[in-house]
Amino acid sequence: MKNKILLSAAILAATSSTIFAAVEPLTATVFPFAEPTIAEQTQLDFGNISPASGISCTMDVSGAITSGSCSGTTAVGDVKVTGLAAGTSYQLTVTGNGTGNILDFVPSATATDSSANASLSDGTGESFSSDGSDLDILVFGTITVGATDLVAGVAATAAYTVDVSCEKVTTLISKIKSVGTLTLSYQYI
């Protein structure tokens, strides 16, 4: 008899619906931040260069050619980043176009707002804490004529990328990318 009662209770428990339950709908919240904007203010220009394969020149942050065979009027690239949130940490990266191109560009850069600055090298991210003011990135570096001679009298360009990403805890959230170009005219020297 005792086994029949236990068996009946087990069958009843297995076939009956739950007697006690609680359900509460919950919500998740997120606060979206504004995307910064990147605008090229001054195009990077190495001036004139010999069109021969392998020729290179290096420009410093002031726009001066410090080595190599570039001549003429030069200009450091100036990129302005606006819309950064104060007190927010960003990852800044300036990346050249790599090797094996008509022109190979290896950039360096400085990033400055009203309270901080950072030095950037090709493809290496640098943490930067914004005060909310505009960020000015000056781009310079080394340009090299690729494996094929350039055509005299025809402008050649190389692309580079400026990447501004928002850092939150350990997650890197990509915010915006912009590609700038540099112009290089050349002549036989």
Q: Convert the pLDDT of each residue in 98-150 to its tens digit.
A: 877 899 999 999 999 999 999 999 999 999 999 999 999 999 999 999 999 99
CATH number for 33-186 (one of 1.10.3470, 3.40.50, 2.60.40, 2.115.10): it is 2.60.40
Pairing status of strand 89-95 against strand 56-59? unpaired
DSSP string, 133-166: S-EEEEEEEEEEE-SSPPPTTS-EEEEEEEEEEE
d(CA 38, CA 83): 9
pTM score, two decimals?
A: 0.75
d(CA 97, CA 116): 28
- Give the pLDDT confidence of 16-71 residue by residue, as tens digits: 555 677 888 989 887 776 788 999 999 999 999 999 999 999 999 999 999 998 99
